[in-house]
Structure 1
Amino acid sequence: MKHFALLAAALLALAGPALSQTVLSQTAGWGPGADDAAFSRMLASSFKGKGVATIDRLTQDETQAFCSNPVLAASPAAAAQRQRIEAANMATVKWPSDGQWLGDWKQGEALAQSGRGNTWSDKADTPNGGNCYNCHQISPTEISYGTIGPSLTQYGALRGQGEETLKAAWAKIVNAKASNACSNMPRAGHMGILGETQIKHLMALLFDPKSPVNAQPGPTK
């Protein structure tokens, strides 16, 4: 959390000198090396649980705490710790219960398009979306997509459906931190955002030869 400190101080300054002085006076300072106790108290008092959006989301696990420290996360000296965190995340990956990797690519496309779910206004039984287009190009016919993650166009066509390839893609969707401790990709399966059947549909979107993801591009005119 320490790298959030300067941002928090700036926000407090905008909120007004009285509030800024009240909070800042409770700490020895902000920035690297500062005590995070006041910042943690501010988070706890500012966020309230409502519906499915519960306050426990503010509690970091070991992976999140490690990656929230940019100096530590990028340090060569922390390589062993990164590897241990990745191994711990890999150990949480649950493989398909019936041995089947692929579902329905059409439902996978709908999931990739949907960013709905896990907000205070959502019911507990509302299916979550994958929000995949927010970070990836997927189907070549969709022109609105993010670029934080790599393009997934031609994903299956280029890689085939070997067991190791399928396992790697499945693990990436379930828990991306298993292969990259500080990946920007959310742990969709591990965090309960997506269920097994939904993950199968996304796998089909990536690997099914009939999926538009794997359509062969036409000749350039």
Structure 2
Amino acid sequence: MNHPTLHTPQRHVRAPVRRLRSLALLAATAAAAITAVGCASIPSPKELDAQAAAMIKAAFRDQGIAKVDRIQQDLAQSACSSDKMPAPEAMQKIMQEAMATVKWPEGGKYLGDWREGERLAQNGRGMTWTDASTEPKGNGAQCYNCHQISKAELSYGSLGPSLYQYGKLRGVSDPSSPAAEPILKYTWAKIWNSNAYMACSGMPRFGHAKLLNEDQIRHVMALLLDPKSPVNTQ
């Protein structure tokens, strides 16, 4: 018995192949056209920055003591929130301008009461739209959010370096001595405007931004530097 030879007719193979090739060519052409149109319509970085600024401004409103002017950036904030680190020259300018804003303590009195300093370090209140006043006297320093300070407090953040034994480790045994003055001045300036020593510091600028007043900063200074403070005795 003769058996027919099994085969696939060529015409049935070629037709689907031609169709696939046509579809692939069409898809490639469409993709190229979309890419060309997309590239031509992408906004410039400057335009994107303007759009982002407009969106941010539209998303906020005055509410209580919290005003829209808070979203306005100064040189340091603008430079340090960019997608690129500021150039060395810009960072130097930021630090110089920040140092120029530092108001040194009246009468050269750097330290207050470390007990009040501990209360301020534990207090994170202030400057929200629910607060009645922008006066610093109602604000806290919220130091424990980012730092270890005293040995007794076990709940603290680690965004910033440990401040435990801050004065002791720096050899401050007598804060009134001339030898202690460089550390006192450094610490005061750092609290007043942290950009004075690090252009893009993430630490709040307590004095410059009027988050704390002079007396409150003295109390925080005492917590860190008074030899009798538990920060330095334990």
Match of 1:113 in 2: 122
The answer (yes or no) to whether the contact 1:209–1:215 under 8 Å persists in 2 is yes
Match of 2:67 in 1: 54
Rg (Cα) greater in structure:
2
Helix, strand or coil at the partner of 1:65: helix
TM-score (structure 2 length as normaliser) = 0.75
Match of 1:13 in 2: none
Structure 2 residue 96 is matched with structure 1 residue 72: no
The answer (yes or no) to whether the contact 1:29–1:35 under 8 Å persists in 2 is no
Match of 2:159 in 1: 148
Amino acid at match of 1:209: P
Looking at secondary structure, tell me which structure has more helix per residue. Answer: 2
Helix, strand or coil at the partner of 1:202: helix
Match of 1:170 in 2: 188
From 100, 104, 128, the counterpart of 2:139: 128
Cα distance between partner residues in 1 of 2:203 and 2:43? 29
Cα distance between partner residues in 1 of 2:83 and 2:50? 19
| Alpha-carbon shift at residue 72 of structure 1 (Å) | 3.2
Gaps of 5+ in 1: 1-27, 217-221
Gaps of 5+ in 2: 1-40
Cα distance between partner residues in 1 of 2:72 and 2:95? 19
- After TM superposition, what 4+ stretches of structure 1 lie above 2 angstroms from structure 2? 28-35
The alignment yields a C-alpha RMSD, in angstroms, of 1.6
Spell out the pairing of 1:4-43 with structure 2 (5 A cutoff): 29=42, 34-43=47-56
Cα distance between partner residues in 1 of 2:85 and 2:164? 34
CA shift digits 1:141-192 (9 cap, x unpaired): 0000000000000001111141010000000000000000000101010000
Cα distance between partner residues in 1 of 2:104 and 2:70? 25
- How many residues align? The count is 185
Amino acid at match of 1:127: G
The answer (yes or no) to whether the contact 1:105–1:203 under 8 Å persists in 2 is yes
| Alpha-carbon shift at residue 70 of structure 1 (Å) | 3.5
CA shift digits 1:91-117 (9 cap, x unpaired): 000000121110000000000000000
Q: Call closer, same or farther: CA 1:212–1:67 in 2, change over 3 Å.
A: same
Match of 1:92 in 2: 101
| Alpha-carbon shift at residue 30 of structure 1 (Å) | 7.2
TM-score (structure 1 length as normaliser) = 0.80
From 189, 196, 205, the counterpart of 2:223: 205
